């Protein structure tokens, strides 16, 4: 059994404006850094998930054997915080980066709805059939993310790993692991610093979705 923590990066600067950041490199806020520090503590304890390890950690120290990250700084900083207690350095994988939102990048939801109401409503209603203008399609995101995920899993059979990425990427990945239609990705919540836990047996078992470990004291 391979155990995977899928983690959304912490809160970013300017998060209150609800903008599509996509490939824009936005740093973590001070609150985001604190969120991820608590996630790191949670992973070190390896508690509150409700599942005992079937295979001991290869490093023997508790926590994780490897940490992977998107190449955007908000994910890298989060991954560095998580990797630090284990003496690990995050492995950067470009394919784990957030979806490109094309001309919508940097715009708030309200700005997009005002300028392109029909396109925004179509995207919200069916993110498989419709895509952000000049951005990536859900299928394009799925193909690159699944390939990267499978390559990571194949390198760490029987180990415990953390993958730090983005809300859109994790929604797509969880949908695929659960066999959900990609039209329904927005039915999966992914807050800042969300923790998701997947166990890879002969098939994936999703143990936790959108866990709020960062709120635990």
Residues marked active site are found at: 9, 98
How far is 211 from 190, CA to CA, in rounded Å?
9
Q: What is the DSSP letter of 97?
A: S
How far is 177 from 162, CA to CA, in rounded Å?
16
The answer to whether the beta carbons of residues 69 and 90 sit under 8 Å apart is yes
Tell me the pairing of strands 160-165 and 66-69: parallel
**15-19: long-range contacts (C-beta < 8 A, 24 or more apart)?**
15/192, 17/108, 18/108, 18/109, 19/106, 19/107, 19/108, 19/109
Q: What is the DSSP letter of 87?
A: T
Query: Starting at the edge strand that comes first in sequence, how are the strands of the sheet with 2-8 ordered?
Result: 91-92, 66-69, 160-165, 2-8, 195-200, 204-211
How far is 212 from 54, CA to CA, in rounded Å?
24
The answer to whether the beta carbons of residues 101 and 24 sit under 8 Å apart is no
Give helix then strand counts, H and E, for the chain. Answer: 6, 6
């Amino acid at each position: 059994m391979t155990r995977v923590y899928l983690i959304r990066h912490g809160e970013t600067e300017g998060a209150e404006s609800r903008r599509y950041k996509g490939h824009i490199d936005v740093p973590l806020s001070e609150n985001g850094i604190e969120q991820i520090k608590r996630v790191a503590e949670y992973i070190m304890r390896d508690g509150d998930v409700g599942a005992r390890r079937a295979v001991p950690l290869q490093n023997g120290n508790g926590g994780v054997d490897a940490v992977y990250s998107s190449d955007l700084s908000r994910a890298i900083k989060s991954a560095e915080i998580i990797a630090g207690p284990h003496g690990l350095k995050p492995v950067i994988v470009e394919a784990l980066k957030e979806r490109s939102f094309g001309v919508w990048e940097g715009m708030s939801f309200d700005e997009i709805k005002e300028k392109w109401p029909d396109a925004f409503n179509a995207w919200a209603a069916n993110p498989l059939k419709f895509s952000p203008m000049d951005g990536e399609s859900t299928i394009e995101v799925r193909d690159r993310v699944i390939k990267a995920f499978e390559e990571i899993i194949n390198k760490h059979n029987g180990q415990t790993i953390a993958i730090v990425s983005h809300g859109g990427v994790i929604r797509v990945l969880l949908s695929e692991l659960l066999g959900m239609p990609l039209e329904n990705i927005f039915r999966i919540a992914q807050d800042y610093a969300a923790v998701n836990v997947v166990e890879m047996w002969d098939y994936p078992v999703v143990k936790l979705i959108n866990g709020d470990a960062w709120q635990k004291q």
